[in-house]
Amino acid sequence: MRMRRKKNIDARLAACAHLLADKPEEPISTSQVDFDFEGDICLEIGCGKGGFAVRCAAENPTMCFYAMERVPNVMVNALERAEREKDTRPDNLRFIIGRAEDLAEWFAPGSLSVLYLNFSDPWPKARNAKRRLTARKFLLTYFKLLSEDGTLYFKTDNVDLFNFTLDELKALDRAPSYVTYDLHHSPFAAGNIMTEYESNFVNRGIAICALAVSARQIHF
């Protein structure tokens, strides 16, 4: 079902335009494109309401965060949250209205230190497998954009999508540095920042699957 267009969305987006990154003429290779300081560049793909990105930015003031969302109707919530909480964090967060398919137009190879995929659309029907953001064509793009010491983090409540992701990584001969089917009852929960979806799932007793994988080639 298509999401109903929010009221006054154009005006609301315009009010937060200073938080939106402009499409670069050349892919971003340094954080000084959008920020007044140098720092490791982190990207969240599919930022939803923005809670994760805003908190990450606040807790990591020396890092530069980009949060991507393809639907302006969704992005406006994240922008407005970031604007409301601007006094609680440094100016180290920008938002991108765009698609994962176009990442190479935004970021140069090796430019990202961290990439987060949080609760991506599972696209459950087999015919849509290539649209999943952990399909191997996307994974190859992520590994290209991550620096040699960069890391991809993935969280989901969908076990089928998680197993699909593990299979795709195995097809690429990439071994995760950790894998858990119950993040919040694992050693990897330390320092975890929850998204709005995640908080809801945890409150309902739904286990969260998570993994991390290095851009550096680690073989199965």
Give how far the C-alpha of residue 14 lies from the chain's centroid of Cα atoms, to the nearest Å.
Answer: 23
Q: How far apart are CA 57 and CA 69, in angstroms?
A: 17
Does residue 128 come out as left (phi exceeding 0), alpha (psi in the -120 to 50 range) or beta?
A: alpha
The catalytic residues are: 121
Q: Which DSSP state fits 147?
A: E
Asked if 174 contacts 218 with a C-beta cutoff of 8 angstroms, the reply is yes
Rounded CA-CA distance 105/103 in Å is: 5
Q: Which two tokens stand for residue 211?
A: 């993994």
State whether residue 150 is helix, strand or coil: strand
Per the DSSP assignment, residues forming a β-bridge with 64 are: 41
Q: Which burial class, exposed, middle or buried, applies to 70 when counting CB atoms under 10 A from its CB (0-12, 13-18, 19+)?
A: middle
Judge contact between 158 and 117, C-beta under 8 A: no
Q: Of 20, 214, 210, 6, nearest to 98 (Cα)?
A: 20
Say whether 52 sits in a helix, a strand or coil: helix
